[in-house]
Amino acid sequence: MQAKQIADELRHRGYTVVRDFLSEADIPDGLLKFLAGAEKFHDGVIMDFPAEGMLHLKARIESTIPEVADLMGLSIARDRFGYCAIRIKESHGAPTLRMPFDKNRDPKIAPGGALNWHLDHFSYFLHEDHKNFLICYVPVFKPESSLANVAIVGDDVVRELDPELHRRIQGRGALRFRCVEADTLEWFKLRFPGEDIVIGDWYAIEDMHDETPGWKIKVDLEKHKVVPELNVRDLLIMRADVIHRTNDAGCDRISVRCDAIPANGTRFGTLTGLMGLTLRYPFMSKKRQYNIRIWLKKEWSKRFKGSA
């Protein structure tokens, strides 16, 4: 697929799939072995990689994405990309209700590490810019192409069915999207006191700003989702402001993710960038503070160990 076609599809519907983007040689056995046992960060992702195992994969992605971003008019950093990995464990159990209800956390969690409908949180907490941001996602281990895929609600679908939602999520992150169910009705009443809440209603859950809990939306995400079937080495590219979730945990799956991040974003890998984020921390919302605090602790710990 040519860069122009990728850019056109990203502009129109917010995502596209490039088949056989990587070769077998781009995913060495040593990388797979490492990712299968690596420790996860608190948000469920694997953060640190063996540099040698990533050389070919990184070269392939970083030689493709800048041209796509240019065609879309996005301002991304060409000299730094964010990498992580996501590991899903096969699970066929039902979601677990989290009692007692806490209005600031999800009332249910899915098994196996699967994530419910959302716009990514941590990247938005860091950069506050999901307009100049692309997510590149490549399965590197996946026994079944029909399982453990990503469900997406296209930007064009949201634009048509709920123009207000479309307007409010442009360039956004740190949002969850949940449907009111019989066993979560009381949670929604706790989160949205005074509202007339009905089973089957859908809500956007605001996690960036403390002053608003979110708002009711007009689109049933489950009815309008698409689930691109990905094989190992296929590339899924999404704009970061496109609503998505883990479709299922029907098989084990390991994927490598690359974030093309905003050019004007703070360089958190530098001491100046880390200090700047630390100084801004007291003025952040509570939800953002909770996530940033854990990340800052980890980064400062690495700095202190490196200087010891």
**pLDDT (tens digit, 9 = 90+) per residue, 154-179?**
999 999 999 999 999 999 999 999 99
Name the E strands within the chain.
15-18, 45-46, 76-88, 96-97, 108-109, 118-119, 134-141, 150-152, 175-179, 202-206, 214-217, 235-239, 244-246, 253-262
Supply the pTM of this predicted model.
0.92
**pLDDT (tens digit, 9 = 90+) per residue, 23-82?**
999 999 999 999 998 887 655 689 888 888 999 999 999 999 999 999 999 999 998 899
82 φψ region: left (φ > 0), alpha (ψ -120 to 50), beta (else):
beta
